[in-house]
Amino acid sequence: MSRTNRKAAVVGVGHTDWVGDWARVRAGENPTDINGYAAFAFIDALKDAGLKRDDIDGLICGPWNPYERMGELLKLNVRWGDNADAVLAVLSAVQAIETGMAEVVALVYGNDQRSVGTQYGGPQAMGGDAFLSYVYHAPWGLTSQGALYALMFQRFRALYGFEESDLGHVAVAQRASAQHNPNAIMQGRPISLEDYLGSRYICEPLHLFDYCLINDGGVALIIAEAERARAITDRPVYIDAVGRYDLNENATTLEPRLTEFYRPAQQKVAEQVFNRAGIGPDDVDVFQVYDSFSVHVPLALEGYGYCPVGGAGKFLRESGIGLDGKLPTNTSGGHLSETYMQGWNHQVEAVRQLRGGCGSRQVEGARYVHYSSDVAGKAMSIIYGN
Amino acid sequence: MAMTSETSQTIPNRVLGLYDKPFWQLLAETRALHLQRCGSCGAFRYPPGPVCHECLSPDYAWTAVSGGGSIMSWVIFHRQYLDLYPAPYNVVAVRLDEGPIIISNLTGAEPEGSWIDRRVEMVPVPIGAEILPRFALVR
Ligand SMILES: [Zn+2]
């Protein structure tokens, strides 16, 4: 991965009305389809950037949006195109801009997982084509991605004396932050640690509140070459560094999860991105963690050096990840309490925190946001700066 | 977890690629767990595959393993996804003495307290006409 050094910046963010989409889908309506969610988010992001459609010369679609049809719907003829998940879409945009393949790239994502009943557990669980571990152990009843994190967490907590209530602080803190976010589906429904501990297990030791929401919606980002970005907006949010390290060895039998909890991958990525951005963990004002399950958060706190190995329980109890904590994390509520846009909503929140103007959830004077995802031991990070 | 042979049941959703089939055939024939052992460096492979992940040699022989191991982690499912697995049921990760981790179920008595590092041995459980390898605590 090449050094980025402020070659590209986010100039526009947009999304659908997640709260409204949630209510309508639960009432049995279909507000739109998967490409509609992406299209509405794109319109919102164009407006946010103050750009015209003709300014766009690159298009990256989310993993579920068919690329050609999406480009057809938006009438975008472009000189760069791709399909990618949230973090790889940002990486792809940066690479396209750095190599001169594009100057203003639209990243569009839609998801209709709630209305079409996408299975994240059970015999038709999604993702099996990419990750053999998601399907290989079905003969023994291991059929859900949540169970993989439950297995990981069970061993993690035994090795480090991490308590069930320590993990509860993740769900509780993110739910508290979501109370300050009008876009959060769980605004108006705060939970206490007692609520967490009293909630049912899904795959023990994980509780209901350790699992992400499942909802429909869309997100779009517009990323531009840095000089062009400064002409477009007076509040560009720069991509200071990107990094990646994948643990593939013995991945199907969960060895990288169960022995070192992805830590070696995260440590390598930490070194890459902090060096490239010229900062350290202490300089990070807001941490955004891909949180399909709450377990991602303590693992990332340790893996990226925000606390010592084995220190995540103490960090969650004493330092805190809430808006008034030492390291505000998933300040929008994240996947657990805002919206499950598979990492895309975290990019929107990173940009909003660095622009300022997040109202009562604004982290004052935020200069750097670190986004981390560690899906199935593929550790990736982005450092955003303003 | 039900201990009895579930004759009307089938093993759900097995991945049956070219290299997986002998794993299940040998289990059904011998009631013993066999893994591919590298003909060059001696490493055991699981899941089965075309080359040794240690030395990239394609050579191997299907070799019976001891069936002994220890529990690395465990979970309890509180939701049913499959006919064979009414909730609650357990899933364990077992480190075989030969090296690989295998995901399975603990059958029979369950330990008090933590299950981690408990010694277990493979138990061949008939499911329909097939054998499913599960594990039981070593007494
Ligand atoms: Zn070998």
Contact B12/A139, CB-based, under 8 Å? yes
Q: Answer for the pair A303, A267: CB distance below 8 angstroms, yes or no.
A: yes
Domain boundary assignment for chain A: 8-116+216-232, 148-205+239-385
Superfamily of domain A8-116+216-232: Thiolase/Chalcone synthase (3.40.47.10)
**What ipTM is given for this predicted complex?**
0.94
DSSP string, B90-120: EEEEEEETTS-EEEE-B-S---SS--TT-EE
For residue A217 the two structure tokens come to 């919606």
Residue pLDDT, tens place only, A121-145? 665 555 666 789 889 999 999 988 8
A8-116+216-232 and A148-205+239-385: identical CATH topology: yes
pLDDT at B139: 82
A&B contacts, CB < 8 Å = 105
Instruction: Tell me how far apart the alpha carbons of residues A322 and A315 are, in angstroms, rounded to a whole number.
Output: 11
Domain boundary assignment for chain B: 2-137
Cβ neighbours for A99, distance < 8 A, ≥ 6 positions apart: none
The CATH number corresponding to B2-137 among 2.40.50.840, 3.10.450.40, 3.40.47.10, 3.40.50.11720 equals 2.40.50.840
Compute CA distances A364 → A87, A323, A327, A352, A357, whole Å.
25, 10, 12, 12, 10
B125 has which bridge partners? B132
How much distance in Å is there from the Cα of B58 to the middle of ligand 1? 8
Instruction: Tell me how far apart the alpha carbons of residues A6 and A94 are, in angstroms, rounded to a whole number.
Output: 10
Q: Answer for the pair A372, A380: CB distance below 8 angstroms, yes or no.
A: yes
Contact A253/B100, CB-based, under 8 Å? yes
User: What percent of chain B has a predicted confidence (pLDDT) above 90?
Assistant: 91
Q: In sequence order, what E strands does A282-377 have? A: 286-289, 368-375
Q: Is the pLDDT of residue A4 over 90?
A: no
Q: Is the pLDDT of residue A119 over 80?
A: no
Residue pLDDT, tens place only, A211-248? 999 999 999 999 999 999 999 999 999 999 999 999 99
Q: Does A121 touch chain B (CB under 8 A)?
A: yes
In CATH, A148-205+239-385 is 3.30.930.10: no
Q: Which residues of B touch A250 (CB under 8 A)?
A: 53, 100-101
